[in-house]
Amino acid sequence: MTARPLAGVDEAGRGPLAGPVFAAAVILDPSRPIEGLRDSKQLSPARRERLARLIRRDALCWSVAFADVEEIDSLNILGATLLAMRRAVCQLAVTPELVLVDGNRLPQLADRTVRSEAVVRGDATVPAISAASILAKCARDGLMPGLDAAYPGYRLQEHKGYPTPEHLEALRRLGPSPQHRRSFAPVRDLKTF
């Protein structure tokens, strides 16, 4: 009997003031290695997109999930991140034997027979976590043009919802959109909603 494989899990979008937090889970296929996997933050957007296409094509299976702004505001960002991670793992077509999660916190998995371990800086050291980092980042970044079109004036496509000076100025001028995280201090402190 063949051992069940390991899944790497990572998130994207914990720090922005707007939009969902995404997580991905990836089980790589050992017979189809993907060269160049690393932490998504160390890759150019074009390189991330190229690698994401390879991951989606060559991985044994993969999944992307998110927690929306309402979940972030009701649970807090950590709780919402762990929820998105749990959803990503649950959506995998193959049940892993081991789930390796970037960071120092673990989501509560639905299948309690699956072992999980937190790996600090795992996105830089574990290829499956690097792959998950890339998919989560590409999925979140891919959502931002649509949010930018739906909520013009904030320039969400440019800064991806992060608290840049331009974004903070737009928040002061326009007030928060429905996609802004009201539990985050820069949005909460506006007191305009």
126-147 per-position pLDDT tens digit: 999 999 999 999 999 999 999 9
116 within a domain of the structure (yes/no)? yes
Structurally, the chain folds into a number of domains equal to 1
Tokens of 139: 């999925």
Report the CATH number that the domain containing residue 34 is assigned in CATH: 3.30.420.10
Instruction: Tell me, yes or no, whether 34 lies in a domain.
Output: yes
Q: What is the DSSP letter of 31?
A: T
Q: DSSP letter for 107, please.
A: -
Q: Is residue 115 part of a domain?
A: yes
Closest CA to 5 of 32, 36, 40: 32
Residue at 110 is within a domain: yes
In a domain, 21, yes or no: yes
Q: Determine the average pLDDT of the residues in 22-39.
A: 96
Residue 182 lies in a domain: no
Is residue 183 domain-resident?
no
Average pLDDT in the chain: 94
Q: What is the pTM of this model?
A: 0.94
Which class for 102: exposed (0-12), middle (13-18), buried (19 or more C-beta within 10 A)? buried
Q: How confident is the model at residue 191 (pLDDT cuts 50, 70, 90)?
A: low
Q: Can you list the alpha helix ranges (DSSP code H) found in the chain?
A: 45-58, 69-75, 77-90, 122-125, 127-150, 156-159, 165-174, 185-188
Give the domain range for residue 106: 6-146
